Amino acid sequence: MYGLYVIGFIASCVMALLLTPLVKKFAFWVGAVDAPNHRKVHTRIMPRLGGLAIFLAFVGAYFIISPALDAVNSNAAFGLLLGGFVIVVTGALDDRFQLSPKWKLLGQLIAACIVVAFGLKIDLVNIPFGITNFNIGWLSIPITILWIVGVSNAINLIDGLDGLSAGVSGIATATILVLALMMPNVTVVLLSVILLGSIAGFLFYNFHPAKIFMGDSGALFLGFALATLSILGFKQAAVVSLLIPIMILGVPLSDTFFAIIRRYVNKLPISAPDKSHLHHCLLQLGFSHRTSVLIIYGIAFIFGASAVVCSVLMSQNILWGWVLIIVALFLVMLVGAEAIGIISKSRKPVLNFFRSLFGKTVQSDRLGK
């Protein structure tokens, strides 16, 4: 079986490698290009639509390898493929015609509803502390749709540097793959393997200096796929709470969270664009394009590794262990966000609190001497 997974990865990776140059030519032909402006980092016209190569490689590899695996949940897989098609078309139209936000949201809602129609829902919320498998009833539908749309847009928001969204999505996919192998869950393993291969093949052309952008077609599809895989994988695991998929997607979700807080603090509309996302802040600190991307890769890896460790600790009922990890991650994330100015360049209440606390401690030690 593991040999089939390797074949699936190689097949999707090779197809992405072969398809991306063709999609690049197609993007120029139809005029799906990204021109530089004051908010963009690139300085020349770049082809978009890279998501088409990722999606086509993903679909092609699935139909190559899935017939050899009897345990694949084809109903769930087709839900992901059909919903993925809708979201890729939505993103591709935006890459070419710059759709209004309401039309983009409509496409995302249709894709999310397709997933729900195929039976993929967050119907059980696992709550530690003695309560397990809490059925949320009819709320499962709006919560599932909100999760899928939210993650799709979170991946889209961090798509600001060459290779950033693809690399972070690849790390999140690899984390889901590891957890699916631990369960085990054949369907999630297969889908994760071919998605990872598609990302790897495309990243060859997308890492700095990029030859093509994934565009909304790619960012929305990767977010959609990750959200759907997290539902498919973790709804079947009684020992895993909703904290695990949130940790896996820690980088895009935290960046989105801080963007909302930042715009609230600065009295701006939530949808207002700015240049204060994580990658912007790292560039403003003087890091190079490539170094900024690698730093964010490292942060994504820490989130992913923490999710795996917490999953193991939850399965062993080691409550204090995973609670400690989550609290430590949250504090480090908050302090780091204030340090680089992702929320506000001037308002830093948490850092000021720690400075005053440790400042008083140092002063007390000096007085004691």
pLDDT average, residue stretch 16-23: 97
| pLDDT at residue 231 tops 90 | no
pLDDT band at residue 40 using 50, 70 and 90 as cut-offs: low
Beta 124-125 vs 46-47: how paired, if at all?
unpaired
DSSP, collapsed to helix, strand or coil, labels residue 252 as helix
Largest CA distance in the chain: 76
Q: What is the pLDDT of residues 161-211, one digit of tens each?
A: 899 999 999 999 999 999 989 888 889 999 999 999 999 999 999 998 899
| C-beta of residue 60 within 8 angstroms of C-beta of residue 12 | yes
- Helix ranges restricted to H, the chain: 2-30, 50-65, 74-97, 101-117, 140-157, 164-182, 186-206, 215-234, 243-248, 250-265, 278-284, 289-315, 319-340, 349-368
- 183 close to 240: Cβ distance less than 8 angstroms: no
Whether 221 and 174 have beta carbons less than 8 Å apart is answered as no
The residue with greater pLDDT, 164 or 73, is: 164
**R_g (Cα) of the chain, nearest Å:** 21
| Inter-CA distances, 262 with 8, 147, 275, Å | 42, 21, 11
Q: What is the mean pLDDT of the chain?
A: 85
pLDDT in tens, 255-287: 888 888 888 877 777 767 777 788 888 888 889
pLDDT at position 129, please? 52
Nearest alpha carbon to residue 246 among 294, 311, 200, 337: 311
> How does residue 41 score in pLDDT terms, banded at 50, 70 and 90?
low
The arithmetic mean of pLDDT across residues 79-97, rounded, is 95
Q: What's the average model confidence in pLDDT over 36-46?
A: 66
**pLDDT at residue 343, as a whole number:** 78
pLDDT digits (tens, 9 = 90+) for 287-310: 998 999 999 999 999 999 998 998
CB atoms within 10 A of CB 237: 19
Residue 6, number of CB atoms within 10 A of its CB: 12
Q: Give pLDDT, residue 359.
A: 63
How confident is residue 126, by pLDDT bands cut at 50, 70 and 90? low
SS3 68: helix
Tokens of 148: 């899928």
Predicted pLDDT of residue 336 = 85
- 107 and 148 in contact (C-beta within 8 Å)? no
Among the residue ranges 181-190, 299-308, 312-321, 344-353, the one predicted with the least confidence is 344-353
Q: Are 262 and 342 in contact (CB under 8 A)?
A: yes
User: Domain ranges in the chain?
Assistant: 2-368
Q: 25-62 burial, b for 16+ CB within 10 Å, e for fewer?
A: eebeeeebbbeeeeeebbeeebbbbbbbbbbbbbbbbb
Helix (H) or strand (E) holding 34: strand 33-34
Beta bridge partners of 34: 46
CA distance 165 to 224: 13
Contacts of 357 (CB under 8 A, 6+ apart): none
Q: How confident is the model at residue 136 (pLDDT cuts 50, 70, 90)?
A: low
Please report the pLDDT score of residue 38 as a whole number: 57
